Structure 1
Amino acid sequence: MKKGLGYAIIAYTAWGLLPLYWKYFGSVAAGEILSHRVVWSFVFMALLLLLGRRSQWGELKKIATNGKTALLVGTSSILISTNWLIFIWAVNNGHVIETSLGYYITPMMNVLLGVLFLNEKPTRGQWFAIFLACAGVLLVAVDYGSFPWISLSLSGTFALYGLVKKRVAYDASVGLVGETAVVFPIAVAYLVYLHFAHQDTAWQLPPVSLTLLLLAGVATALPLLWFAKAAVRLPLTMLGFIQYIGPSITLLLSIFVFNETFTPVMLGSFTLIWSALIVYAWVSMRVPQQLAANAK
């Protein structure tokens, strides 16, 4: 549990700082950045696997030959790739606050998925927290005058990704190699297409910028690796709650670094969601205490 908590904190802190990294490539299209992210993540993880234990290659082979496990790995790959694409596009198009909102919603989304798929039973207080979070999302939707698709898409894809990770049991490094391997051919094909269509821009970047882009594999794989290690050690609801570290950092960046507008309506929405997190945390801490008291 302690190791899982440490991995989760490190992973979410890194994710909270990622907008600084992706903003650096604002002149490159989101699809092209995503393709480089997938390619170099696969290369980085494959190298780690080569330097690791031989048993990991046998585990990877088992994943590839087991239909159910391969399907789950493929599903998690599609979910996280979709999440990456939406996030990169949102950051480079001035929607960092909406990405922060999306990841604030994720803990509540995790609770709902836990109820639907893992037979978890939230208390009344936890349901009240979900209600507050939904009210916050509705407030943003009314203010925008449209469906907050960025926030809900990010929270939905990442919560589902966490759920799928709970359904499979394999080494974190092996799982990441499998996930990136699924979309690796698509990413390579897209980069080749851009090159022959003379639409690629990444290779025209200055040497320092290009080097940083090629390091996207490291920037992507390490937090995912830490998250995967946390996911197998922590309950889904606890994992979801710890993730508020990331959007808190992102929200501060959006206001004080990227100078995005934080309206009174947004403040009201975030206040409802922060209240939901406080209620959820308080109720979640009370449940184990009550169980211990009853046991005595």
Structure 2
Amino acid sequence: MSFPSGDAAVPATSRTAFVGAGYAVAAYLTWALLALYWKALAHVPAIDVMLHRAVWSVLFILVLIAVSGRLPMLAGTLRKPKSLAVLAATAALLASNWYMFIWAMQLNYALEASLGYYINPLVNVLLGVVILREPLSRIRRIAVGLATVGVTLLSVSLGVPPYLALFLALTFGLYGLLRKMAPADPLVGLAIESGWMALIAIPWLLLRESEGFGGMGRFGPGTDALLVAAGVVTAVPLIWFNAAAKRLQLSTLGLFQYIAPTGMFLIAVFINGEALTTTHIVTFVLIWAALGLVAFETLRNRARVA
């Protein structure tokens, strides 16, 4: 799973903002529902699902790039060695994030995965402080402290840290940080990242098929369709996200990002029936409070600028 960043323009009218909000809800809700999509492929090894996602993504996105007239943009990015190197690194981070998320959904770890994407904005704050030397406001220090207390409580209760949540948050945070070093159109960037993955995916999948262990053609047309459509469900919400980014301010768009982990949380509890202990509830409440503080500061700063 990935929630890419984009350049947002200030909406010219309330109608523009309303349409942008609709696109944002559609994008983040789709990312939440991917929890059910990957669960439907639980009978296929997660590594195979992830690699199929990469292959079908690059094919589908290349068609979209051609149709939308972005081929010159793609060619320009391919001529930049630095961008290609950075996108190779982001591809590795994205692949590991995709794999762990798919694995988690297949084995009913949606609750911990949702925790990871809730704390991701706070991980971004820490990465900004540690790597970019960005100042940390008092409100954000309190927010990070609340999240740290929440994760510590859960770690003590479980006997181990929530490694899955921390892994998803950290890999996605580093992914977003590195992507800023290779500014590229989101579709073009994802095409190149998927292309890097496909260099490994295609030989792997062909080998699996030749040995009779591949996912394609082994479990019936329904599974085949889901594997192929993985490229579509990867690209379409990205298109909706970009449509939203063109119509909304980034501070406004950022508030919609909590739809995805909230959807995963609800799926985990009410569909998967995953255990929600008192410690889980306390942890989530602390993190929600932390996110509320960050959102409050963002909106307050926006009001001051306006």
Q: Structure 1 unaligned runs (5+)?
A: none
**RMSD of aligned C-alpha atoms?**
2.4
Deviation at 1:70, TM superposition (A): 1.0
Q: Does 1:209 align with 2:255?
A: no
TM-score, L = length of structure 1: 0.89
Task: Supply the AA of the counterpart residue of 1:37.
Answer: R
1:110, 1:237 within 8 Å by CA — same for their partners in 2?
no
Q: Structure 2 unaligned runs (5+)?
A: 1-8, 12-16
1:31, 1:85 within 8 Å by CA — same for their partners in 2?
yes
2:53, 2:231 within 8 Å by CA — same for their partners in 1?
yes
| Higher helix proportion (structure 1 or 2) | 1
Residues 111/5 of structure 1: CA separation in 2 closer, same or farther (3 Å cut) = farther
Task: Supply the AA of the counterpart residue of 2:36.
Answer: L
Q: Does 1:84 align with 2:98?
A: yes
Q: Residues of 2 paired with 1:110 and 1:6: CA distance?
A: 26
Q: Provide, for residues 96-138 of structure 1, a one-character-per-residue CA deviation record: whole Å limited to 9, x for no partner.
A: 1010000000110111223334453332011111111111111
How do 1:226-241 residues align onto structure 2 when only pairs under 5 Å count?
226-227=240-241, 241=255
Residues 291/47 of structure 1: CA separation in 2 closer, same or farther (3 Å cut) = closer
Counting aligned pairs with the same residue, the percent is 38
Deviation at 1:65, TM superposition (A): 2.3
2:28, 2:237 within 8 Å by CA — same for their partners in 1?
yes
In the TM superposition, structure 1's runs of 4+ consecutive aligned residues that sit over 3 Å from their partners are 1-10, 116-120, 224-242, 288-292
Q: Residues of 2 paired with 1:209 and 1:289: CA distance?
A: 49
How do 1:6-155 residues align onto structure 2 when only pairs under 5 Å count?
8-53=24-69, 56-155=70-169
Q: Provide, for residues 186-211 of structure 1, a one-character-per-residue CA deviation record: whole Å limited to 9, x for no partner.
A: 11111012122222234212222321
**Aligned residue-pair number:** 290
Q: Residues of 2 paired with 1:119 and 1:239: CA distance?
A: 24
Q: Provide, for residues 218-253 of structure 1, a one-character-per-residue CA deviation record: whole Å limited to 9, x for no partner.
A: 011222344567679988877655321100011001
**Partner-residue secondary structure (3-state), 2:217:** helix
Look up the match of 1:159.
173
TM-score, L = length of structure 2: 0.86
Q: Residues of 2 paired with 1:186 and 1:180: CA distance?
A: 10
Deviates more, 1:189-198 or 1:1-10: 1-10
Deviation at 1:181, TM superposition (A): 0.8
2:46, 2:102 within 8 Å by CA — same for their partners in 1?
yes
Q: Provide, for residues 150-187 of structure 1, a one-character-per-residue CA deviation record: whole Å limited to 9, x for no partner.
A: 10111111122222233333222222211111111211
Q: Residues of 1 paired with 2:148 and 2:243: CA distance?
A: 30
Q: Out of 244, 261, 267, which is 2:258 matched to?
A: 244
Q: Residues of 1 paired with 2:238 and 2:155: CA distance?
A: 30
